[in-house]
Structure 1
Amino acid sequence: MSTPPSSRLSSLRVLKHHDFALLWGGAALSNIGTWMEVLALGVYVTKVTGRAEWTGGVAALTFLPAIVLAPLGGALGDRFDRRRAVGVGALVQLVLAGVLAALAFTGGLTVRWVAVISFLNGCAVTLFTPAYSALIAVSVPKEDLHSALSLNAAQNNLGRICGPALGALVIAHADVAWALLINTLSFGAVLLSLTRVRATAAGKPADFGGLWAGILQGFRVALADEALVVALGGTLAIAVCIAPFTALAPVMAIQVFQLDAGATSVLVTAQGVGSLVAALGAGALADRMGKARLLEVGLLLIGPTAAAYWLSPSLPVAAVAVMALGALYMLTLTGLSALCLARVSTELQARIASLSTMLLFVGFTVGVWVQGALGDRWGIRWVTASAALGFFVLAVLRRALRSRGFAAFEV
């Protein structure tokens, strides 16, 4: 039996919601610039240092602040107007991107400056991402939440497709500085879209006492719900074992395959294509398979797929493998995030989103740094493939134990 058109396009139906469409469009344009910067800085650090440890380490600095600041960001997102909070975050990122571009144009760019600004940018992202997640959640009805998160992942991966390709083109014909300047200008799209978001979609500030009390309440709610514990634990495991592939693409292209920025762009773009296709089809897949079954399949397949990518014998094979990996990465993280947001009230969504962000960023920081450092000593392929297979063992054990919390993934 064929799938009805409405089911096949179920991930797109959320664009009929005014505020979500505006937020989606602004973020999509901004993310193209962001991924141009990611490619430019990854290539710059890899070429200057020649070490995977440095490439992974500098990338990890963007996520390091989440160890401390993510719960604070969640409390702020539930306490204050979320639209304004997202605007402040975009403005701070615009300034930091502008500083990087200015340093590059004046010849003052160094790995140290890249590291410092990456850390500061990570602080801004950590503090304001929970507000953005909660703003997305209140911009659509609850029944459209999974589709909204899937399509939000799609715009990020649309940037992952277009950004590296444009970044490689700009670097080849101009310089890293121009890629950084374009990223600076791209934050204007977010600021413009926020001016047209309706006030009612920005959420109602919560009254839960002091910030510390609000942070503790978020932790208590998460620990009291077995489904949330399972979902947050899965997010952490993916972050440590699987997620480093997103930052180590320059290492795979330049050190493993002995190629250049163009090869890095191929890998990053292929991942984006896989994620985008999966995001557009996530609604239909969830309708057909059920959200719980879709997530379970993703958790079981992502480890072997990541190992296959790292052990690929050539760039074309790696591109195909990372396309599949990008699809599974999007499906699993979106499913876990949808569970977390759907199981709590609107007043708690930013705080629960911040815990998910914290674990994702902390896990990524540890994973990319450790895998990069060990890869320099023992070989990047075997270290990363072993981590991926380690996650597969965890996924099999989780399925064998059949945690009661996993049944709640059908949200």
Structure 2
Amino acid sequence: MTPSLTPAPPARATMWSPLAYHVFRAVWIASLASNVGTWMQNVAGVWLVTTLTTSALLVALMQTATSLPAFLLSLPGGALADLADRRKLLLGTQGFMAVVATLLGALTLGGQVSAFGVLGFTFLLGMGSALNGPVWQTVTTELVPRPVLPFAITLNGVSNNIARAIGPALGGVVIAYYSPGWVFMLNGVSFLGTFAVIYFWKRDAEESQGPAEHFLGALRAGMRYVHYAPPIHAVLVRVFAFGFGASAMWALLSVVIARKLHLSAGHYGSMLSWLGAGAVAGAFLMGRAGERISLNQRVLLGGLTFVGTNLSLAFIENTAVLGPIMFVSGTAWLMAMTSFSTTVQLNVPKWVQARVVSIYMLLFQAGMSLGSLAWGELADYFSPQVALCAAAGWMAASALLAFPYPLKAADNLDLDPAEPWLDPPVADGPADPDDGPVVVMITYRIDPADWAAFQPVANRLSRLRLRDGALRAGVFADLADPARITEFFTVATWGEHLRQHHRFTRDDQAVEEQVRQYHRDPEPPRVAHFLAFPTAINVPVEVAAPYPNVELTH
């Protein structure tokens, strides 16, 4: 298989458009089988711990054991996904999770596992998932074109939720008639399909994006990008708040079924199936209403729905009523999560995409982990009803975040590399990629009468420069010649500066062109590079074209 994007993007994409791309289709089918195994594993693991211990806290910690590895490893996993061959990384993570699930199944069938043992193996599976998550989400951008990407992301959510509808029911049947150990064994087998599809995927070789990044430098670049990207701030704040409050349902659902309603694993699986079915229905609902409901409105509606979900679990005891409520909750869950993921992936260029996704996943899993711990502790100290009511209050309060932190669409962004900036500067003398720091100075002629208009545009561009790698930046006026404005920025190494040329996008270039409109000279702005050598300091290398990644601040 090859990641060809033929056929051409349709004039009007629909929910089915991504399945026209054969590699995406194969990956989607394989991931569906793997997701079924994962949900069977989740049901079996939670139910096994519920039967092995009387502590609601230990049961709630199953969610923490799943989420905490993402908190610890998502960011390193994102850096690896941007630096390493994504195909090889996927093969490694899928193989690791297959081995862990199979080993847990063998120990369970042999009667050699305890509640803490299940938590430990769940943590190991969470580690594999944490390293797999960023690369798995970002690989979708290689399989479908940008106009189809929102629907591909939604279909990925549909895959997970079809599995949520099927997996818990299958897991409950296997538990009832056989043993949770066989569920774990089946989950191990389910990873083989995904492994095979990735193995036969002939991924196109990527063009060099400048000197290779070091691992720690890549981590810093990812965090720096997020720090200077306001659209991502809104996603991170909202997804943490949503995950913290919604985790109460996931953490305490089995406790409500087993301890409050005194029902079996089959009923627990049935409730999860209602959730999955609601999410699948929600995908098609969004396909019809997507243009009329913004991403921000979807998340707000999803959060308010979970207020009702938590209150229903606290007070309703009739499963005939709880089932439809879980159905609506599944729809709300899919609406919120696909809105978060779509916002992240459409607002971030490819070079840093996996790292930003990993930070997004880290905040989401942090919210889920801390929320599960908090609601579980509250349920043990008071009661599950009190914990669920508190979670409902949290979700109601967090709905107010929709106003200061709205999610913004990225329909008009052009995040392809800015072609004029792909040719890096050439030094007259020797310059190793690890040499540095580098100081870049750009001289403009700005009429003092234009300073008031120049300032906001310069500030906007300064954020882009810092976002793409500058450590410090500034703009200075010549006291002897006020129209002579010198802009400077400092980069850690020459290699990092060369990489800036590949990070500058067409959308960024439009901002830079606005700055250049204030340049009052027939010649282009004069650019000089100063590199700190061990034996020679401040050696300039000049280029005639305006420079891409430059910071403008006062």
* Common fold: TM-score over 0.5: yes
1:291/1:363 CA distance change after superposition, 3 Å: closer
Match of 2:330 in 1: 326
Counterpart CA distance in 1 for 2:240 and 2:408 is 18
Task: Give the aligned residue type for 1:214.
Answer: A
Displacement of 1:205 after TM fit? 7.5
Match of 2:156 in 1: 152
Match of 1:62 in 2: 66
Does residue 30 in structure 1 map to residue 34 in structure 2?
A: yes
Pairwise mapping of residues 336-351 of structure 1 onto structure 2 (< 5 A)?
Answer: 336-351=340-355
1:310/1:150 CA distance change after superposition, 3 Å: farther
Displacement of 1:283 after TM fit? 2.6
Does residue 93 in structure 1 map to residue 97 in structure 2?
A: yes
Q: 2:401 aligns with which of 374, 380, 398?
A: 398
Match of 1:3 in 2: none
Match of 1:46 in 2: 50
Q: 2:144 aligns with which of 119, 140, 146?
A: 140
Task: Give the aligned residue type for 2:249.
Answer: F
Counterpart CA distance in 1 for 2:208 and 2:362 is 22
Counterpart CA distance in 1 for 2:247 and 2:34 is 22
More deviation, 220-229/301-310: 301-310
Q: Which has the higher strand share?
A: 2
Displacement of 1:68 after TM fit? 2.4
Task: Give the aligned residue type for 2:406.
Answer: F
Match of 1:254 in 2: 258
Pairwise mapping of residues 12-411 of structure 1 onto structure 2 (< 5 A)?
Answer: 12-200=16-204, 209-395=213-399, 397-399=400-402, 402-403=403-404, 406=406, 408-409=408-409, 411=411
The answer to whether the Cα contact below 8 Å between 1:306 and 1:385 also exists between their aligned partners in 2 is yes
Task: Give the aligned residue type for 1:146.
Answer: P
Which has the higher Rg, Structure 1 or Structure 2? Answer: 2
Displacement of 1:219 after TM fit? 1.4
Displacement of 1:58 after TM fit? 2.6
Counterpart CA distance in 2 for 1:174 and 1:51 is 25
Counterpart CA distance in 1 for 2:409 and 2:56 is 37
Structure 2: stretches of 5+ with no match in the other structure: 1-9, 412-554
1:195/1:348 CA distance change after superposition, 3 Å: same
More deviation, 236-245/22-31: 236-245
The answer to whether the Cα contact below 8 Å between 2:83 and 2:213 also exists between their aligned partners in 1 is no
1:170/1:338 CA distance change after superposition, 3 Å: same
Task: Give the aligned residue type for 1:408.
Answer: K
1:77/1:22 CA distance change after superposition, 3 Å: same
Which TM-score applies when normalising by structure 2? 0.69
Secondary structure in 1 matching 2:68? coil
The answer to whether the Cα contact below 8 Å between 2:248 and 2:387 also exists between their aligned partners in 1 is no
Listed one character per residue, the Cα deviations across residues 121-158 of structure 1 (whole Å, up to 9, x for unaligned) are 11111112101111012211111221111110111111
More deviation, 140-149/276-285: 276-285
Counterpart CA distance in 2 for 1:85 and 1:341 is 20
Listed one character per residue, the Cα deviations across residues 357-398 of structure 1 (whole Å, up to 9, x for unaligned) are 111111111111111121122111221232122222121x22
Task: Give the aligned residue type for 1:377.
Answer: Y
Task: Give the aligned residue type for 2:17.
Answer: R
Match of 2:489 in 1: none
Counterpart CA distance in 1 for 2:327 and 2:124 is 31
Displacement of 1:299 after TM fit? 3.8
Displacement of 1:407 after TM fit? 5.8
1:14/1:245 CA distance change after superposition, 3 Å: same
Q: Which has the higher helix share?
A: 1
Displacement of 1:319 after TM fit? 1.6
Percent identity among equivalent residues? 25
Match of 2:466 in 1: none
1:250/1:276 CA distance change after superposition, 3 Å: same
More deviation, 108-117/280-289: 280-289
Listed one character per residue, the Cα deviations across residues 88-122 of structure 1 (whole Å, up to 9, x for unaligned) are 11100000001101101211121122121111111
Which gives a bigger RCO, structure 1 or 2 (Cα 8 Å, sep 6+)? Answer: 1
Displacement of 1:277 after TM fit? 1.1
The answer to whether the Cα contact below 8 Å between 1:138 and 1:203 also exists between their aligned partners in 2 is no
Displacement of 1:243 after TM fit? 2.6
The answer to whether the Cα contact below 8 Å between 1:82 and 1:134 also exists between their aligned partners in 2 is no
1:56/1:208 CA distance change after superposition, 3 Å: farther
The answer to whether the Cα contact below 8 Å between 2:346 and 2:410 also exists between their aligned partners in 1 is no
Structure 1: stretches of 5+ with no match in the other structure: 1-5
1:163/1:303 CA distance change after superposition, 3 Å: same
Counterpart CA distance in 1 for 2:195 and 2:297 is 38
Counterpart CA distance in 2 for 1:153 and 1:49 is 33
Counterpart CA distance in 1 for 2:214 and 2:74 is 16
